[in-house]
Chains A and B, each alone.
Chain A
Amino acid sequence: MNLRGLGAALAVTACLLTACSSGDGGDATSAKDATYAVWDPYPQFDDSSDWVKLLTRCGTDAGVTVKRTGYDTTDLTNKALLAAQQDNSPDVLIVDNPVVSTLAEAGVLTTTDEMKTDTAAVSPNLLAAGQQGGKTYGIPIGANTLALYYNKKVLDAAKVDPATIKDWASLTAALGKVKAAGKKGITFSAIGTEEGSFQFLPWFWGSGANLKQLDSAQGVAALTLWSDWLKNGYAPNSVLNNTQTTSWQEFAAGDFAFGENGTWQLANAKKTGFEYGIIPVPSQAGGTAPAPTGGEFVTAPVQSDTGKYAATQKIIACLTSADNALTTDTTLSYVAATDAVQQKQVAANPELKVWVEAVRAAKGRTSDDLGTRYPKISQPMWGAFQAALSGSKNPQQAMTDAQAAAGK
């Protein structure tokens, strides 16, 4: 052993300790004040997309450089929580609406009052998903929701007029006719995740049920509707394992009369090669059922350096301004969160009318001041429809057990 050996070994050790490979680490800290981190759940957009261009422009207008990172949406909650734990939160976080209350509960987000964000123009039913205990923790960038796509050819063959479908009874009758005509009825996603709950809610709420009481007569009626469809062969058994994407693929194959799916499939619907239409999800007694709102909120996570808030406010105002919201919502295939922009959207594309109506009737999953109680209800709820649809429990039993688990 000589000193040279010692020196080499120490150099290696020092390298390991200080992570000497990351050369640009130093620059980032020195320019920290002017660089604003924005995280969004749109990894499908790269730097050449309209969305990222808009982000960059909003940053430049606010006099700062925006560093944008797109994450997978299921990843983003944990990434945001971990970042907050390390006091390393992004300056602007765009996050799925039911997550807002979780992050707010964690104390990660600033309120719109603190950020002086103007939420007056936003539809109250959309804003409610980001409200908890009388405070608002973000502003929706746009919304999407669920409706029923139908295949015109299949309905014609079964002699069903989609305009006559106003309630559950007429829908089920239509499904019966379709099956009798040798085609398949309806496909949806009843997978055992949040995605399944999202798809079940229009029926659950459409019966008049309330998330605080899963085993009410109305709640059981909604589950019975689904399980009877499966029993009668109106819906395929594969719904138990369908994500909304696989459910869409089933519908797009052309044999199904109906597919429950979202605004985001509109572009794909044009590619199916058959004539399609869209009706709102009917409620039990008739009329449009409240579907859950999807779509993201623009939020401003808490920073230890509150001096950064001024520019953050400008970026958020820029992103949600009427003109920019129109661009963004068109890019994302979303319905805007404000009346004024919704009207512009319908004027530009009359096809969106049914979606705008569905969004107006829609309801946030964490609304009704449920907040972080929602996830604890949603999980037993998806357990309940999985149990009923797979035949391991009857709807009443499934919902009773779910309520017992949710009430804990």
Chain B
Amino acid sequence: MSDTTLRVQDPSLVVLVGVSGSGKSTFAATHFGLYETVSSDHCRGVVSNDPNDQSVTPEAFALLHAIVGARLQRNLLTVVDATNVQPHARKELVALARTHDVLPVAIVLDVGADVAAARNRERPDRTFGSHVVDRQQGQLRKSLRGLQREGFRTVHHLRSEAEIAGVVIERVPLLTDRRHERGPFDAIGDVHGCLPELLTLLDELGYVVERDAVGRPVDAVHPQRRRVIFLGDLVDRGPDSPGVLRLAMGMVRAGHALAVPGNHEDKLVRALAGRDVTVSHGLETTLAQLAGETAEFREEVAQFCRDLVSHAVLDGGALVVAHAGLKQSYHNRASGRVRAFALYGDTTGESDEYGLPVRYPWAQDYRGDAVVLYGHTPVPRAEWVNGTMCLDTGCVFGGALSALRYPEREVVSVPATAEHYAPARPFPTGGVGSSDGGASGRTGAARPADVLDLRDVTGVRVVDTALLGRVSVPEENAAGALEVMSRFALPPRALPYLPPTMSPVATSTLPGHLEHPDEAFASYARDGVGTVVCEEKHMGSRAVVLVCRDDGGTRFGLAPGSPGVAWTRTGRRLLQPDLEGELLTRLRDAVATAGVWDRLDGATWVLLDTEIVPWSLKADELIREQFAGVGAAAAAVVPAALAALDAAAARGVDVGGLRTAVAGRAENAERFRDAYRRYRWDVDGLDGVQLAPFQVLASGRTEADAAEPGVGGSTHETRPHPWHLEIADALVAADPVLIRPTRRLVVDLADEASRSAGVAWWEELTGTGGEGMVVKPLANLVLADRGGRPLQPGLKVRGREYLRIVYGPDYTDEANLARLRQRHLGRKRSLAQREYALGLESLARLVRGEPTWRVHQPVFAVLALESEPVDPRL
């Protein structure tokens, strides 16, 4: 017997229907994967240890539904292996499929009661009599007629053992599933019959238009094989809907364009089919225009519009197009409400004062990874909202016709030649920014662009980073970070970056040392780094500084003209507002004087990684309470102890060893005081304060009239350190009083003499009280050969005297050092690496123009990781 091919949509919910003994389990095992099939008998076994125990039916089906629901949530093809001969059983499954907008498919295995009963007799575990099968067979027979009506989109009825045995299942993707189409694309918003503007736009995009014998455009071809995506609403209102259709249909037919339907096409289909529709909103124009075309053309149009599929998932799932947009849970799903959403948006059922439907601003809540491009609601400008963009810029209302070049993410617009149709609601054509992302109507509650949801940070605590993949944040750390972020940090929009922690160098075994440059050189040499730069470490406080000119700060929610903002490593404002204003104004002047804006391609904002000194500016209380207190206690007691010992010695008491030890302590205590004293001095306002920039993190232009504000910036982690230091030097030259130079030395790791020079330089630096240095690969970001993970971006090598502040006055005693050398660096290193990857991720998201919540996620994660318990001395 010839094989029967069953086409089964993937994904779909396949419901097997058949009496006990009809061979459902065998069928499922033959045609579907191990995990794809959910069996009621298996669920009975799971909850009761007995797959035939009928008394646990409710529990078993509760479990079955839970499993099926979870799989459908993930859009996975799922097969239900249960008798399903009773309508109520099927009804629940159909409802489950609908909840998840997955197609329900029925496959009926109809072998007849005799065969089934015979099979059951052969199985010792099936103890029920043949009357059970008879009853089921009766229920099945009654069910067969109504399966379509129950909601099954497809019903396959297999009528014999032989037919069942010959079945071949062919899995077919949903019509919306076009993930194999990789682009590049040019997605064009609502055309509405504006043929002249469409032709200009295609020309602008580089397409060559082909015309038929009478000069009508019928196709357009791109020399680089780019393709157009029409986002729907090709017709109505405008001057030449038939012309637009002719061109679009030609392009789709020739494979030069894809199209999704708009609500206007949907209505046109119904009108052309002679159905009763209200002819309004420009449909009257189209019908009048089509009346001048041939019947054949009209039929072609009807066919074309009818065949359009609600939405398309493209480029491996990274791009979704739908006329009115599509929320994430509807991507690549099939149901009536998915189609309604794709064509009409998330309507509330209400109308606004102009009689237009009120829609929920779905894009504001969009959190998906896929880019969603859509049209439908005219907006003054195409703007990114959470990775979605509306490209309907109201051409027919006198706005512009816009396209997005994908994957380049460039908006290309051509202005309308005229207001072709008066809008029902006044269409804002001026520069008034609208960030409501397709929302219309709803007063007051429109969500501003930088609103965050708790789920953004505490729900999904896994952040995808380009450098390290998924970085996860423990729940308790996120809880702690939430408090700091909410109560003490700058507003998230103004806080696009937090600096990572830095690992110290591996512990040195050289006498008297805990840290030494040798270890840093050896470590990078092992990792294949040829040249490193040693940068002086300024003992102060880490400060990230955003310097802005003109309206550069508006990207960060700052007032126009703001010189920027500066923050600490935990995201707190660095200085009191008046001092901060003074600092940033001077920095901005220095950036301008040094010509840094020009070097950064005309940027209007730049993010600098810096250290601010003195340490006491931010840490005065810590120095007094902690370090000065210890020094005072020591200074008071040690001389008295020495005097007492000397007096005893003078009496001839042997206190030799103890006296040496106490004398050593006296010396160490004085060195300890010297150590912290070097990092504090009095300041008056900004007098005495210095800022040492050492890295340019990112820069960009904020342009008020750009289609995509904020996009066009760059991060600079792949520029070699000399580039960064050159900019730092230029800033020092511009304001040597405020800006402190960072001394540095380049070391060739292959050259022993160069390494020795590096060690000597460090000894000199720290011998005169310097904190130490940071050794970095000269090339900046370096990925390890194996695994491609980033190397530590820097290793700190702190000075012997400085470390007294960290490890205590007497840490240099060899007995103490021996124990302190047993420090564990693994956790600190891992933390430094993860925070580095997160920091770069937030910067990358920032310059890509991603929404605040996306930039905020890695920033929040850095703060959360900082609360991990790690030895603070590292």
Q: Do A and B come from one complex?
A: no
Residues of A within 8 A of B (CB): none
